[in-house]
Structure 1
Amino acid sequence: MAVAMVTTALQQTPTIDEPVYVGTAAEYLHEHRVVHNPEHPPLGKLVIGVGVALAAPTVDSSFTGDQGQLGRHLLYESGNDPWRLMLFARLPIIALTLAFGLVVFAFARELAGVAAGLVALGLYAFSPDVIAHGSLATLDVPAAGFVLTSVWLLWRARLRPRLYVPLAGAALGAALATKMSTLAAIPALIVLAGLSVWCASRRRALKRAVLAAAVVTLTAIAVVWVSYLMVDPRLRWVPEQPVPAVHGLRGLAVDLLPFPEAYRDGMRVQFDFEDYPWQGYLFGRLYTGSLSYYLPAALLVKTPLGMLALWVAGAVALVAVRRLRPAAPYVLLPAAVLLGAAMLGSRDFGTRYAVQTPMFLAVAAGCVLAVRWRWAPVAAGAMVLFVAASSVRTFPYYLPYSNEAFGGPARTHLRLHDSNVDWGQDLGRLADRLREKYRGERIWLVYKGSGVPSYYGIRAADPRKVPVDEVRGLLVVSDSSVAKATGRLAALIDSSRPIDTVGHSITIYRR
């Protein structure tokens, strides 16, 4: 897994979100203030900032602009090497992703033995989604991993509540201080905290259960405050852009959050995003708005078939095997709550919003070995090998992975878009392909990403800004743009011939 993630980190150019987080992390290090990207709390970006600090980039303290411009300015306009800086920024997230794998192993081992831990770890280590997003300087895997860690510690609190309840609260706080979407997990984890102490108490004292829930809550709140104080001990907050007003019950909920004003303003930005009419793409259909079944459908496409089978079998085993039933709420409830909350969101952009699913269900899958069936170990081992083979086959193109039933990574763009397949990661590979095979040809480019094509030696024009008859040569289009093409771009694509693909995310046409 480490080899796959480091290789991916070395070969991929910045995805759409990464420059924002890297630029903000550099801003934290040099300005010691929260200015940009308030919609995400600081902790995940502080982790990224460890790598940024080691890379020691040149930072322009006089820069003024929005958060998108901030990252591009740091990477491409300040004399820094974007390849080196992005690698250093990604390495701390890679290390954290590997650490969460140890949590998966320990959790499953405690439920059903060492062999179960190895099955769970195998599924985690070969999960294309975890590898893809664990090798990027983004926040999805850290947030999900902290929730998983909190749940595992709550499970351990059934035996030693005084030690593990506060630690579980700290892990939950780390999740809340990384991504606001993890707020949805709070009620479930509070209930699990009370349940753990209730089970640990000989007298089944309700007061102790309530106290445990309070400890988890207060510790989590404290961690969020500490993450902001680490950036700016004075807690100064002057938003770089106007903060949208939020009214009604949502506005009241934001006002009641016991967090710094920057966090609450970030929630207002997130609610404003939820009201925007985003476009989605599923199974060849382009639509405006969101589909409640989008994430389950996307997971069906992007999860290895053997993994899907073990997920189902593991969930059934947790409920059916008597000695595993106490663990079922810990493994299944948080995953279901976070998935349900993401399904209700308005942004159908990718399975990264459900990356906690392969983490929690890997633990569940290991529990199939608790079933007293003679062939269970052989079947589980065969499924893990099937998953490993499918994952290795897609190396190093993990973002556009889809399983064999849906045609593999080469056909993902026909069914999904955005971070499921094309997140701007292949600009460097495109530059290499154009230099090796199409040197000297006229290039027309529609690129969806945060990279700067000219930095990589790509000299191209936008075909949408000239008459159709003038577009001759190579038409290069990001597959997300192909999926959403209308008007002139759609006409250009329809009248061109596809001749090549780059990284399963960019199509080259001859026109």
Structure 2
Amino acid sequence: MKEAAIMDELAHIPAGYGYVKYFDFRLNPEHPPLVKALAAFPLLFQDLKFPTDKSAWQSEINGQWAAGAQFLYESGNDADKIIRWSRVGPMILTLILIIFIYFWSKELIGRWWAYLPTFMFAISPAVLAHGHYVTTDLAAALGIFIATYYFVKLLIEPSQKHLIFAGLAFGLAQLMKFSAVLLIPFFLFLIVVLYIWKIHNEWADTAFWARPKKFFIRALRYLKNIALVFIIGYALVYAVYFIFTINYPIEKQYSDTKFILGSFAGEPDLKLETCKISSNIPVARRVRCLAEVNIWMSGNKIFRPMAEYMLGVLMVMQRSSGGNTGYFLGEVSAAGWWYYFPTVFALKEALPSLILIFTGLVLTLWHIGKRIISRGSKLTMLFDYIGTHFPEFSMISFVIFYWIYSIKSPLNIGFRHILPTVPFIYILTASAIKKWFNYDIVFEGKNILREFFNMTGKIMKMSAGGLMLTLLLIWYLLETLTVSPHFLSYFNQLGGGLWGGYKYVTDSNYDWGQDLKYLENFVNENKIQRIAVDYFGGGSARYYFGQKAEYWGSSRGNPSDYGINWIAISVNSLQGATGKLHEGQLRDPKDEYRWLQKIKNIHNPDAKAGTSIFIYKLK
């Protein structure tokens, strides 16, 4: 295994082990448990030492980072073996998502065309990067995709089976990542749209006197179904959190929750003024009531499983409103940029994929224009489209909804944040291209290999568009193969490619700490006895190359003054230290590597470990 633990894995792996080994949720409440628990399950069959005797577990509040370092690197465990086995669960979830993309695509656009979005997703550098880490991003995409699939099924073909599946899928999504909470307003939107469409479609055929009763009963039926979906889903959430909080002492859960939410929406509200409807309090302050309710629930034996779930949601709300300090287009800021995600998508999505997506968008707009001209009424066209393409409409709506939410949020954490929209974008792209081809390929045999060659032959015999599609997919595949195994640092040609993307944006887009073991190889191959290391990630330089590593920072000055002639700096740390500060952003001049910039061109290191660690020889 070449990759070291990335930053988030340092917290997620020990947290998951705490859940499945000790049924204790004291670590990493900011993320739901399912991915972490699945990742930690194989670890139960290893003879591991877990630091339950350390303060990070016993007394600290959410001591996830210290517990992670102790568990992986300081307890005599084989860190690489733990990391390797922990990644099996996330990889399985990624494979499940790929399979689901194929099957839903098959229902919508046919067997052959379903291969297009499936192929695009399966070989996407972003998917190959994030699909094996112990993080919640690909899992969120899986949960949201499956939940949307079954909810749309329920709306189109109401049945008890679809109701149960929709509820369970909704619950699973909530257990994957807290951004799945957005499914609540999204599902409500879909049910309102479908209800309006039903009224429009049946209004003329329903007697005037029968309309109120008929549409009122239908509204009640829709409300009942969506309420049951949420009830089933949150019953599953409760059950899972109940299991993982069994041995979490209620006194500690209460004190931890109270401390973590101490500054949520202002200071504590002991008199519960924010919970009084009659109080003349601004909305921004009134949400403090949620924290007070959460604190009370955490001390109640019945409600405390849901209190832990609610705590995670509130932590995400607090972090989202506060932003995340990062480097983007030469600037360092915590305020965020509204154009962050569109830009990152344009720079990190493979060019052949962007061409296909853009083509699909143009074709969709062209079809809409033709419909408007032929139908004459935009409203009639919209209702016709909803009635005949409701799954497609649902996908478009989710992509727009999620992107608007992401753009408005100051939490700019990387391409991974918009991964839940990628499966929908690929399916919509394939659907638009298929309509343009207006050509259904039907296979006669059952041999997949024979069908593949048959498919290829038929495409080559088609129009120039078919040839272009084939060439774009070959280009896409080559893009992925040529950057292996550095998928995380992938940028397309517009973004400077694999080696230049860091100049535009860093963090999990380029450097998440994955290349520490490449640095270990460099140190050993060059027989370096001591090296200063300014590392961003979930690995441990001391674990991999012992006393040769000296942890460093800009404020300590030039390592050569201390007899250390090499320094390795994570590019995330480097860009954060040298990028232009956004207005209002502060940084100590001692932390800006000014001494290094005087003697080196920081963008032209003497060597690189992987793609993300820059190495400078000082003497």
Contact 1:127 1:358 in 2 (8 A): no
Alignment partner of 1:260 is 2:306: yes
Please report how far the alpha carbon of residue 142 of structure 1 lies from its aligned counterpart in structure 2 after TM superposition. 0.5
Alignment counterpart, residue 14 of structure 2, candidates 3, 23, 31:
23
Q: Tell me what 1:230 maps to.
A: 243
Which deviates further from its counterpart, 440-449 or 475-484?
A: 440-449
Q: Distance in 2 between matches of 1:52 and 1:484?
A: 35
Q: Distance in 2 between matches of 1:256 and 1:188?
A: 25
Kindly tell me: are residues 467 and 16 of structure 1, through their superposed partners in 2, closer, same or farther at Cα, counting changes over 3 Å? closer
Q: Tell me what 2:595 maps to.
A: 492
Alignment counterpart, residue 101 of structure 2, candidates 100, 104, 108:
104
* Residue identity in the other structure for 1:407: G
Q: Distance in 1 between matches of 2:507 and 2:607?
A: 20
Please report how far the alpha carbon of residue 194 of structure 1 lies from its aligned counterpart in structure 2 after TM superposition. 6.4
What are the Cα deviations for residues 394-426 of structure 1, in whole angstroms up to 9, with x where unaligned? 110011110122221111111111111111111
Alignment counterpart, residue 464 of structure 1, candidates 531, 554, 565:
554
Q: Tell me what 2:537 maps to.
A: 449
Kindly tell me: are residues 14 and 117 of structure 1, through their superposed partners in 2, closer, same or farther at Cα, counting changes over 3 Å? same
Contact 1:159 1:200 in 2 (8 A): no
Q: Tell me what 2:376 maps to.
A: none
What are the Cα deviations for residues 147-169 of structure 1, in whole angstroms up to 9, with x where unaligned? 01111223333235332232122
Q: Distance in 2 between matches of 1:80 and 1:276?
A: 36
Q: Tell me what 1:59 maps to.
A: 50
> What secondary structure is seen at the aligned counterpart in 2 of 1:508?
strand
Kindly tell me: are residues 463 and 380 of structure 1, through their superposed partners in 2, closer, same or farther at Cα, counting changes over 3 Å? same
Q: Tell me what 2:187 maps to.
A: 189
Please report how far the alpha carbon of residue 57 of structure 1 lies from its aligned counterpart in structure 2 after TM superposition. 2.4
Alignment counterpart, residue 165 of structure 1, candidates 154, 163, 166:
163
Q: Distance in 1 between matches of 2:220 and 2:352?
A: 44
What are the Cα deviations for residues 367-417 of structure 1, in whole angstroms up to 9, with x where unaligned? 121324555544333322222111111110011110122221111111111
Which deviates further from its counterpart, 164-173 or 13-22?
A: 164-173
Alignment counterpart, residue 119 of structure 2, candidates 113, 119, 122:
122
Q: Distance in 2 between matches of 1:504 and 1:185?
A: 37
> What secondary structure is seen at the aligned counterpart in 2 of 1:371?
helix
* Residue identity in the other structure for 1:504: T
> What secondary structure is seen at the aligned counterpart in 2 of 1:260?
helix
Kindly tell me: are residues 353 and 76 of structure 1, through their superposed partners in 2, closer, same or farther at Cα, counting changes over 3 Å? same
Alignment counterpart, residue 333 of structure 2, candidates 281, 287, 296:
287
Contact 1:441 1:473 in 2 (8 A): no
Contact 1:317 1:324 in 2 (8 A): no
Please report how far the alpha carbon of residue 87 of structure 1 lies from its aligned counterpart in structure 2 after TM superposition. 0.9
Instruction: Figure out how many residues of one structure are paired with residues of the other and give that number.
Output: 501
Q: Tell me what 2:498 maps to.
A: 409
Which deviates further from its counterpart, 26-35 or 152-161?
A: 152-161
Kindly tell me: are residues 199 and 270 of structure 1, through their superposed partners in 2, closer, same or farther at Cα, counting changes over 3 Å? same
Q: Distance in 2 between matches of 1:221 and 1:255?
A: 21
Contact 1:111 1:324 in 2 (8 A): no
Q: Distance in 2 between matches of 1:399 and 1:306?
A: 18
TM-score of the superposed pair, with normalisation by structure 1: 0.90
Kindly tell me: are residues 463 and 72 of structure 1, through their superposed partners in 2, closer, same or farther at Cα, counting changes over 3 Å? closer
Matches within 5 A, 1:12-411: 12-65=3-56, 66-157=63-154, 158-159=156-157, 161-192=159-190, 205-233=218-246, 237=250, 238-239=252-253, 240=256, 242-245=259-262, 246-247=264-265, 248-252=285-289, 260-276=306-322, 278-315=324-361, 320=367, 325-367=389-431, 368-372=433-437, 374-411=463-500
Percent identical residues: 21
* Residue identity in the other structure for 1:473: N
> What secondary structure is seen at the aligned counterpart in 1 of 2:392?
helix
* Residue identity in the other structure for 1:490: Y
Q: Tell me what 2:586 maps to.
A: none
Which deviates further from its counterpart, 245-254 or 306-315?
A: 245-254
Q: Distance in 1 between matches of 2:136 and 2:464?
A: 39
* Residue identity in the other structure for 2:480: S
Q: Distance in 2 between matches of 1:261 and 1:15?
A: 29
Q: Tell me what 1:5 maps to.
A: none
Contact 1:130 1:141 in 2 (8 A): yes
Point out where structure 1 has 5 or more consecutive residues left out of the alignment.
1-9
Q: Distance in 2 between matches of 1:324 and 1:470?
A: 72
Q: Distance in 2 between matches of 1:398 and 1:419?
A: 11
Please report how far the alpha carbon of residue 353 of structure 1 lies from its aligned counterpart in structure 2 after TM superposition. 1.0
What are the Cα deviations for residues 429-465 of structure 1, in whole angstroms up to 9, with x where unaligned? 11012211x2135412111122110111152332535
Q: Tell me what 2:612 maps to.
A: 505
Q: Distance in 2 between matches of 1:136 and 1:281?
A: 22
Structure with larger Rg:
2
Contact 2:30 2:313 in 1 (8 A): yes
What are the Cα deviations for residues 75-112 of structure 1, in whole angstroms up to 9, with x where unaligned? 01122111110111110100110110011111111111
Q: Distance in 1 between matches of 2:326 and 2:163?
A: 40
Q: Distance in 2 between matches of 1:422 and 1:125?
A: 22
